[in-house]
Amino acid sequence: MKVASHARRRKACDLCVSRKIKCDLAKPTCSNCKLYGVDCGITEVTSPATTSRRKVPASETSPTNSSSTPSRDDTIESRLAHIEARLDQIAAEKPSGSSPHDATALNFQNFPEIRVYKASDMWNSATTLPCLGISPQFPTGAMLAQTGKLELPPLQEVLGALERYFDSYGRYMPLFDKRSFMKMTVDWYSENGGKELIPWAAINLVLAMTSRIMDDVPIEEPKLAQYMSNVQSVTTELMAWSGDILGLQVLLGMVILFQGTTNPQLAIVLIGSAIRLAQSMGLPSTRASDDPDESAQRRRVFWIAYILDKCGDDDMGILESCTGTIRFNYLRARSELAIIQGKVHNFLYSRTAQRLSQEQRAETKVRIEQLLSKWRSALPQELLRSDKLFQDYSTISVHLVMNMYNRYLECLYRIHGTFAFDETWIDRVRRYLSPAVIPTGDAGIDGRINQKEISSLPSAWSDCVEHSRLGLELSAFGRETEYSTWLHACCNLSGLIVLLVNIIEFPDQLSVMSDWSLIVRIRNKFDQMNAKASKEPFFLLQVAHELDRKASGQVKRLAHMSSLSHQEAAFSEPWANPDLMFL
């Protein structure tokens, strides 16, 4: 981030100041500038108070000393002339009487290279991961609309993808209404229909969601990257769109897409804009002119926004088993969980929570824990058994339940202070690596834990262990896609560390071998992710590998002690007495 010497006290970069949005001042590029694909900088601004105190001498205002003014005016005039010439050139690129074949076709191969920004690694501050962004050279949606170059695949191909989306993922997360979306798509392709920008972005979004979420297409695949770049190119227009809820819907869809990438920071930026837009539109209130279908859609969009921010009477949002015996209102359950997620943050992590006394915090924690437990107990028991879930539900249903359960686990981990990104918890976990806590022995056999050198385990530890097993089982055996793997990475890392700590503390439990098998599967998956996404090892993955060695040392210690006890028992028998062996 370029910062002028007189502007170091400013709290936001130029872009964030101009758009009146919060700036995180990340270096070298803040999140908003990364999203818009512009250079991040803070220009020098002279304080009005300082200017007013300075008395300008009369000599400085005299005509003889104003020679710089004409040159400055000439510079401005030349810049304006250059801009006008450029606009005329853009407008002239599409002749009025030319046919589509005469105009330059906007094929995917003709686009400038998509710029890849380096965003902070969510696992390790020393490394960076690639994150798609809009290159400053990339044509914006407004420019494409002016030149008539809003391109999409053939209509039949698009309709086929839309049908699959609305019959699967779109049925359980009803971001768009199928009937109105299909009509909008056909109208956009018609000869008499206007090639409007926001509908074009919405179609690109659904095509991207179909490819990424349902078809497990890698994010670097050119066609998917093009869809996502097309949507990103209209970000400015989406944030200012107020004609209907379509702009808000596209923003929320972008949040869903970016949550499943190597860096979800863009999703965090976008959801803030989406929530402000929803509030300005008065959601979820309905208007007198709204028909029932539109009112229902406005309510659904509001709750999806609420769910993503805390990241009925019809069949929308209903999960049904393959046998038809179980029907589960997924959207309602996610909305209820989102309310609990909000309480977890507000009452345990917000500034208001920091001002509570220890007694008040403890009481609040108990109440939220009860709400979370009540929510989980209301779920169909078949959803809490991995074998039944895999057997009775479709793949997309399994992925949706997996996502919901991981959000539940995140609440559980945060309440009890066992989330992998909780510094206090990770500092405690790393104490196991100290010889003062676990003496290192020969042949991988470590000494007993010195409990005086480490704090006690968090409350409800057994619940964290038990529930984390299901989360890891879903990820290990649930046929995760690349999208869902990144989406659930935080919770899976948390569960991995919880199970490893449990083996270190209790190496004699009967579940050690099955837990270890689960750990190996998840750890191998993270190793593959690490190898693909970054040259540097993830910090938390390194911690997990070191904990793995300590857990192995405790199991070996127990096995060694058991072996010694068997030998002692054998030598205690009369026939094993060395003095009697040669009689």
Give the DSSP per-residue string, 348-400: HTSHHHHTS-HHHHHHHHHHHHHHHHHHHHTS-GGGG-HHHHHHHS-HHHHHH
* CA–CA dist 135, 229 (Å, integer): 9
Tokens of 164: 């699959």
Which among 193, 197, 202, 114 is positioned nearest to 158, based on CA atoms? 202
CB atoms within 10 A of CB 12: 18
Say if 296 falls within a structural domain. Answer: yes
Name residues whose C-beta falls within 8 Å of residue 509's C-beta, 6 or more positions apart in sequence. 502, 503, 515
Residues 334 and 278 in one domain: no
Q: Are 413 and 467 a contacting pair, CB within 8 Å?
A: no
Residues 303 and 333 in one domain: no
Name residues whose C-beta falls within 8 Å of residue 272's C-beta, 6 or more positions apart in sequence. 21, 22
Tokens of 413: 């981990």
**Phi and psi for 318 in degrees, rounded to 5?**
-100, 125
Question: What is the number of residues in the chain?
Answer: 583
DSSP β-ladder status, 318-320 and 128-132: unpaired
pLDDT for 326 equals 78
Residues 302 and 347 in one domain: no
* CA–CA dist 112, 233 (Å, integer): 13
pLDDT along the chain (583 residues), means of 10: 53 80 84 77 60 45 45 62 63 45 34 32 37 39 55 91 91 87 90 82 94 88 91 83 82 87 76 77 62 76 72 57 77 87 84 84 89 92 85 86 93 92 90 91 86 90 93 86 86 94 92 92 88 76 90 89 58 42 33
pLDDT for 90 equals 57
CA torsion, points 239, 245, 248, 249, in degrees to nearest 10?
Answer: -150
Q: Which of residues 309, 337, 356 is at a domain's end?
A: 309
pLDDT for 302 equals 78
Say if 450 falls within a structural domain. Answer: yes
The residues facing 120 across adjacent strands are: 128
Look up residue 213 and give its DSSP letter: I
Residues 369 and 221 in one domain: no
DSSP β-ladder status, 128-132 and 116-120: antiparallel
Residues 403 and 530 in one domain: yes
Tokens of 260: 């499943």
Say if 123 falls within a structural domain. Answer: no
Exposure of 465 by Cβ count < 10 A (0-12 exposed, 13-18 middle, 19+ buried)? buried
Residues 262 and 357 in one domain: no
The residues facing 130 across adjacent strands are: 118
Name the domain count of the chain.
2
DSSP reduced 3-state for 241 = coil
Residues 262 and 205 in one domain: yes
DSSP reduced 3-state for 503 = helix
Say if 5 falls within a structural domain. Answer: no
* CA–CA dist 36, 34 (Å, integer): 6
Tokens of 549: 């060695």
CA distances from 93 to 99, 123, 196, 234 (A): 13, 46, 19, 21
* CA–CA dist 439, 423 (Å, integer): 24
Exposure of 426 by Cβ count < 10 A (0-12 exposed, 13-18 middle, 19+ buried)? middle
3-state secondary structure 432-446: HHCCCCCCCCHHHCC
Residues 337 and 196 in one domain: no
Residues 292 and 392 in one domain: no
* CA–CA dist 472, 386 (Å, integer): 10
Residues 166 and 253 in one domain: yes
Say if 369 falls within a structural domain. Answer: yes
Exposure of 504 by Cβ count < 10 A (0-12 exposed, 13-18 middle, 19+ buried)? buried
Largest CA distance in the chain: 128
Residues 157 and 228 in one domain: yes
Q: Which of residues 309, 342, 359 is at a domain's end?
A: 309
Tokens of 466: 């038990």
Domain interval for residue 217 = 151-309
CB atoms within 10 A of CB 451: 10
Ramachandran assignment for 50, one of left (phi > 0), alpha (psi -120 to 50 degrees), beta (any other): alpha
pLDDT for 547 equals 93
**Phi and psi for 175 in degrees, rounded to 5?**
-70, -35
* CA–CA dist 251, 535 (Å, integer): 32
Q: Which of residues 277, 309, 341 is at a domain's end?
A: 309
pLDDT for 581 equals 34
Chain-centre distance of CA 523, in angstroms?
21
The structure's pTM equals 0.62
DSSP reduced 3-state for 269 = helix
Say if 315 falls within a structural domain. Answer: no
Residues 332 and 242 in one domain: no
Say if 216 falls within a structural domain. Answer: yes
Say if 550 falls within a structural domain. Answer: yes
